[in-house]
Amino acid sequence: MVMAAAQGFWQGKRVLLTGHTGFKGAWLSLWLQRRGAVLTGVSLAPSTQPNLFELAKVEQGMTSTFCDIRDAQGLARIVREARPEVVLHLAAQALVRPGYQDPVGTYASNIMGTVHLLDALRGLDSARVAVMVTTDKVYRNHETVYPYREDDPLGGHDPYSASKAASEIVISSYRDAFLAAQGVAVASARAGNVIGGGDWSADRLIPDAVRAWQSGQVLDIRRPLAIRPWQHVLSSLAAYLTLAERLWTQPELASAYNFGPLTHEAATVREVVELARHAYGAGSVHYETASQGPHEAGLLSLEIAKARDVLGVSPKWGLTETVNRTMAWYRAHHDGGFARDLCEAEIAQYEE
């Protein structure tokens, strides 16, 4: 009954989704199309080959626009033309290691891109809800067993994490200074590491594993003991959708929310790799004994009690099922399955 009500909520809603050509954005585009949203996507062209956006023909059933969110005037024009009621902001430079390689571009996309979008909503009478997606890495991470809560201090050692922490301050400022008084409920969503079929990004664990194993190569793992809050991509997207639905009727809930697995399900990179290798049925792995490359956090976990208590959001699939489903998706696609059909089937299963 809850899922049916949610599907009814999105029917005919004008939705602006930034980052629709990315991994999460492509999945979310398909889900919103399934729920009947009038969807406009704003993003750069897909950054990898292959990519889920093209393979699943995500542009069908939506208005797809390529625009750099660093282009304030271009983005504002698209926002005005779309007249969205709900905004879901996923566009970002979303990887830690590329942030080291291009810190200026990372800060420009993640901070000023967020500024440009929020500023485009000022004075836009159609807007009611904005869910701004950041990351679990916004916290000042002391790498202790303590799971971070929404009111813990923000910080960031690397440019990606710091840029996302700074964007949280921007989001809060625009909400308090402009948009709340205008009647727009603005919240930030801090999601843990997501995995699922259709991701081909570089420097992500599962895509690296699939590329290596499909080509008969050895998967090299830099930091096998690093602990992260892993979750299925649909768990995070379901949380974003639920947050937007609740903000529509209860704008007073607008604030920051953590979305991730139950605390005890945070797992090491090695544990995830071994689950993936078992599910895939083959594959060689080499685990480094010393850290390689620039600094990355060794331990990060989230407390999701607020999302559970306030929004009723908790992950549907645990880690083992998440990894099994992910590797089954890649297997099915490699065997000739149509990416859109695979995604829609998995969304339907999540909605059951």
Domain parsing of the chain, residue ranges: 14-199+229-261+300-316
Q: Mean pLDDT across the chain, nearest whole number?
A: 94
Residue type, 279: A
Q: Please state, for a pLDDT cut of 90, what percent of the chain lies above it.
A: 87
Least confident segment among 23-32, 130-139, 288-297: 288-297
pLDDT at 2: 44
- Check pLDDT > 80 for residue 296: no
pLDDT of residue 35: 97
Q: Which amino acid is at 294?
A: P
Is residue 12 over pLDDT 90?
yes
pLDDT of amino acid 282:
83
Residue whose C-alpha is closest to residue 296's, from 192, 226, 191:
226
Query: Which segment of 33-37, 123-127, 227-231, 234-238 scores lowest on mean pLDDT?
Result: 227-231
**Mean pLDDT (whole number) for 288-314:** 87
Handedness of CA 116, 118, 122, 126 (dihedral sign): positive
**Torsion, Cα of 124, 125, 127, 129 (10° steps):** 120
What is the pLDDT at residue 6? 62
pTM value is 0.95
When mean pLDDT is compared across 21-30, 111-120, 135-144, 243-252, the lowest value belongs to 135-144
In 3D, which of 347, 265, 335 has the Cα closest to residue 304? 265
Written as six digits, the tokens of 316 are 């549907």
The predicted pLDDT at position 63 comes to 98
pLDDT of residue 345: 98
Report the alpha-carbon distance of residue 180 to residue 185 in Å, rounded: 6
pLDDT score of 228 = 92
Output phi, psi for 59, to 5 deg.
-65, -20
Confidence of residue 95 (pLDDT cuts 50, 70, 90): confident
List pLDDT tens digits, range 119-176: 999 999 999 999 999 999 999 998 888 899 999 999 999 999 999 999 999 999 999 9
- Please give the class, per CATH, of domain 14-199+229-261+300-316: alpha beta
**Tens digits of per-residue pLDDT, 203-216?**
899 999 999 999 99
Quick one: pLDDT at residue 4?
Answer: 47
Q: What is the pLDDT of residue 101?
A: 95
Query: Which residues have a Cβ under 8 Å from the Cβ of 45 and sit 6 or more positions away?
Result: 21, 66
Exposure of 8 in the CB half-sphere (CA atoms within 13 A): 5
What is the share, in percent, of the chain residues with pLDDT greater than 70? 97
Q: Strand locations in 60-184, DSSP E? A: 63-66, 86-89, 129-133
Nearest to 113 by CA among 92, 98, 84: 92
**What backbone torsions phi and psi does residue 60 show, to the nearest 5 degrees?**
-70, 130
Q: Distance between CA 26 and CA 34 in Å, rounded?
A: 12
